[in-house]
Amino acid sequence: MAGFNGSFGDRTSEPSILSHSGGGVCMMNISWRDGQHPSFIQFISSFLSANSYRLNFLPIVPDFIFNNGGLSVAFIFVTNWECDNASSVFSRVEKLKRQFGHLYVVVSLPTREQNDSFNRSYFKYAMELGFPTFVPVRDPEMGFEKIVKIAHARGVCKRQDAVSKLKDERERAVQGMDTFLKVVTSIPGIDNHDANAGFKLLSQPENQLITQGAEVDVSEPELTV
């Protein structure tokens, strides 16, 4: 079981730290859960609930996967840094960063010795800066808060990007209609009303245009024997 320092009981009843939280899903690695102190798992569960996240325990490869706003963000969460395990940690990082487009590594470093050990290992294993992003924290509690904030921020950016694309498409459609109207109304004998009617006609499905342009006999044909 990973090291445990302090109590998590004082923070579990805190209100949401996210201004626009809600609707997200958090998937926790079962093996990672089993290696943590039960009080920390309780803190995580309460913290997620306060921020409207649903928690699922699954046999996933990373320690956590958050799905928020249609975007999946993976996390490796090292709650107790041990210099003897540095090789396995960075080997895992190398493997997962090629499997997940959005991967973060959160490492709890409560002491100066652990911080120095982590820094030496980071350069020893030649990590590429920002690929993935490492987030050092003072304690596991702060680490999980960082995880939720990162996942939430990435989800918000994803939603804003989708809204921005819809607005751009709408603006292009309006500009296209304006251009069509300007071209058509420049033709002698065609006014704005005629141009609008033409635009609506072009916007109709092809099968509607065909049926409007021809008389269709819908009666049942006679069978010739």
Distance CA 27, CA 63 (A): 8
Q: Where are the domains of the chain?
A: 24-161, 170-213
22-58 pLDDT, tens digit each? 569 999 999 999 999 999 999 999 999 999 999 999 9
Strands (E), the chain: 24-29, 53-58, 64-68, 71-78, 103-108, 133-137
The structure's pTM equals 0.67
Distance CA 4, CA 37 (A): 7
**Residue 172: helix, strand or coil by DSSP?**
helix
pLDDT of residue 103: 97
**Least confident interval from 85-89, 171-175, 182-186:** 182-186
**Least confident interval from 66-75, 94-103, 190-199, 209-218:** 209-218
pLDDT of residue 158: 74
| pLDDT greater at residue 221 or residue 35 | 35
Q: Per-residue confidence at 225, pLDDT binned at 50, 70, 90?
A: very low
Q: Per-residue confidence at 176, pLDDT binned at 50, 70, 90?
A: low
Q: Which residue type does 124 have?
A: K
pLDDT of residue 137: 98
C-alpha count within 13 angstroms, C-beta hemisphere, residue 4: 12
pLDDT of residue 85: 93
67-115 pLDDT, tens digit each? 987 899 999 999 999 999 999 999 999 999 999 999 999 999 999 999 9
Distance CA 193, CA 29 (A): 63
Contact between 48 and 13 (Cβ < 8 Å) = no
- Residue 108, burial from CB neighbour count under 10 angstroms (0-12, 13-18, 19+): buried
| pLDDT greater at residue 222 or residue 101 | 101
**Backbone φ/ψ region at 4: left (φ over 0), alpha (ψ -120 to 50), beta:** beta
Strands (E), 138-178: none
Contact between 152 and 131 (Cβ < 8 Å) = no
Fold of 24-161: Rossmann fold (3.40.50)
Helices (H) and strands (E) in the chain, counts: 7, 6
